[in-house]
Amino acid sequence: MHLVHDFVFRSRRSNVLARHGMVATSQPLAAQAGLQILQAGGNAADAAVATAAMLNVVEPVSTGIGGDCFALYWDARARQVTALNGSGRAPAGASIQELRRLGYTRMPRFTGHTVSVPGAVAGWADLLARHGTMSLADVLAPAIRTAEEGYPVTEWIARGWALQVEKLLRPPDWESGDLDNGPEQPSGHELLLDGRAPRAGEIMRLPTLAQTLRALAEEGPNWFYRGEFAHRLSAHVQRYGGWITPEDMAAHTSTWETPLTATLGDVTLHECPPNGQGLAAILAVNLANGFDLAALSPVDRAHVLIECMRLAFADAQQWVADPSQVDLPLDTLTHPAYAEERRQLIDLQRAAPQVRSGYPPGGSDTVYLTVVDGQGNACSFINSLYMGVGTGLVVPGTGVSLQNRAALFVLDEAHPNALAPNRRPYHTIIPALTTRDGQLHASFGVMGGYMQPQGHLQVLVNLVALGHSPQQALDMPRWALLRPDAGLGAEDPGGAVAMEEGWDFGLMAELARRGHRLVPLDRWSRAFFGGGQVILRDPETGVLVGGSDPRKDGCAVGW
């Protein structure tokens, strides 16, 4: 079957409503895998891991056990939010000096040096151990079956897959931007069909990944971090110049942390603390909370939110780092007094010409999922390889792509986010969760690299200040601050704003008059603005209201 698509996706989606549980994510089969777990008696944690595992199978160009994860979990009985940091660290042998000796002036993107220890497997296991009711084998079963039997590839995923072929095959003439791409004959063919990406509607089977997931289900995380797989991963990374050893794999641990919070109206936003960039969303919301957003005109509101985000990114780029190795002034940065001080820099009529926002230098290939169960527990969960299939390095015979999260380090020893042994890098992937009056309000997220805190701000404002339903909040057009290296005419740091199709032309003209350098993007760039999922819970009736981003292939499903 060969399907033809124009990628306009003229969505007129309504909200999904249910009482007993709901899952929303970027691929329908993954959403259904999570729903099956809920219907079998599992809770939000169980369903989240099942959904994440299925996404590894049906969207392997964005996520997998070779990457990292973060989660926020709302325990309905304890009325408490906990944050899981499932990100890995740089190897003990990581060295700025060695990279400089090799000729690098900034972190490479696709060599073995950019592979940090994958944290997803430990994150999945630790989430189940603390909050789940099922075993890892139970929740991996749907993904294993699908990898073995095959599945039809969906539209956006097929399009993204096609962009990763060269990275997976690494031909001799491949221009990666790195100085050394390593040996030839890579194992990326395990994720391709006869050397090409699967087309929309084609059946894709991943037998080596199925074997890997089955071994993980039977033997547990120790097989991954201390057994055969750890040795195979380490050997492969070292073939491509990297430093990871079996000892680095064995030393990995997840961490449970206290979320950062900010207030918008009567709703409290919870974000994972650094090394994740949730700090940027917290700072932007703190700034935005000083304005009557509902009373502002659409153009004033867009202007204010853009300026809030620019200020937030400026601080986040400086201070998002590994707090176990660097002293970060988080209490000061998140204090209302600091927000009030920074808010004075916002001119309601002009874009600030001197704000130099720090933009994470990354792509937008990640998966996000949210689950709320019938007891009111919620899991906001995100899993990623970064930059498509990450490094493009696939551990031979396993179907596991390896992330390139270490590419987010900097090579300046004085910077808090400098590459260093056993340090976690700046991380773009962030889940979000909101509470109101001590009860769950919503579990949501917007995946997509540096777009994520910007998406959190815009969706939250839509939900809270403007009173939008989940689907409406996701359907609204978005803006995005551009990285200086985005290749979209954004040479002026901090000055350019991408505008998605759907914004009023008069509004854009007025933003331009105020000094914003706008870059209108057409329908082909919809993925540039992220992909979100929202589940809202009515505290009185327990009714769940879900929305799923039309910019992706997924859906919200409930029962």
Query: At 13, is the pLDDT very low, low, confident or very high (cuts 50, 70, 90)?
Result: confident
- Give tens-digit pLDDT for 275-324: 999 999 999 999 999 999 999 999 999 999 999 999 999 999 889 999 99
Residue (of 242, 278, 257) closest to 117 by Cα position: 242
**pLDDT value for 201:** 96
pTM (2 decimals)? Answer: 0.94
**pLDDT value for 95:** 97
Q: Is the pLDDT reported for residue 434 higher than 50?
A: yes
More confident residue, 158 or 176: 158
Query: At 202, is the pLDDT very low, low, confident or very high (cuts 50, 70, 90)?
Result: very high
**pLDDT value for 454:** 96
Tell me the C-alpha distance between 404 and 388, whole Å: 10
Query: At 181, is the pLDDT very low, low, confident or very high (cuts 50, 70, 90)?
Result: low
Query: At 8, is the pLDDT very low, low, confident or very high (cuts 50, 70, 90)?
Result: low
Across 350-373, average pLDDT? 71
**pLDDT value for 229:** 97
> What does the angle CA 27 – CA 70 – CA 289 come to, to the nearest 5 degrees?
95
Query: At 176, is the pLDDT very low, low, confident or very high (cuts 50, 70, 90)?
Result: confident
**pLDDT value for 449:** 84
Which residues are bridge partners to 68 per DSSP?
A: 384
Could you tell me if 551 and 530 are in contact, meaning their C-beta atoms sit under 8 angstroms apart? Answer: yes
**pLDDT value for 444:** 97
Query: CA dist 483 to 278, 283, 450, 491, 497, Å?
Result: 18, 19, 9, 8, 9
- Give tens-digit pLDDT for 245-289: 999 999 999 999 999 999 999 999 999 999 999 999 999 999 999
DSSP string, 171-225: -TT---S-S----SS-SGGGGSBTTBPPPTT-EE--HHHHHHHHHHHHH-HHHHH
Mean pLDDT for the chain?
Answer: 92
**pLDDT value for 7:** 59
The type of residue at 244 is I
Q: Is the pLDDT reported for residue 3 higher than 90?
A: no
Tell me the C-alpha distance between 443 and 373, whole Å: 11
- Give tens-digit pLDDT for 453-489: 999 999 999 999 999 999 999 999 999 998 654 444 4
Query: At 1, is the pLDDT very low, low, confident or very high (cuts 50, 70, 90)?
Result: very low
**pLDDT value for 88:** 98
Residue (of 384, 368, 322, 382) closest to 67 by Cα position: 384
**pLDDT value for 179:** 64
Across 146-171, average pLDDT? 95
How many residues make up the chain in this entry? 559
**pLDDT value for 20:** 97
Query: At 527, is the pLDDT very low, low, confident or very high (cuts 50, 70, 90)?
Result: low
Q: What percent of the chain has pLDDT over 70?
A: 91
What is the distance in angstroms between the CA of the first residue and the CA of the last residue of the chain?
Answer: 32
Which residues are bridge partners to 71 per DSSP?
A: 84, 381
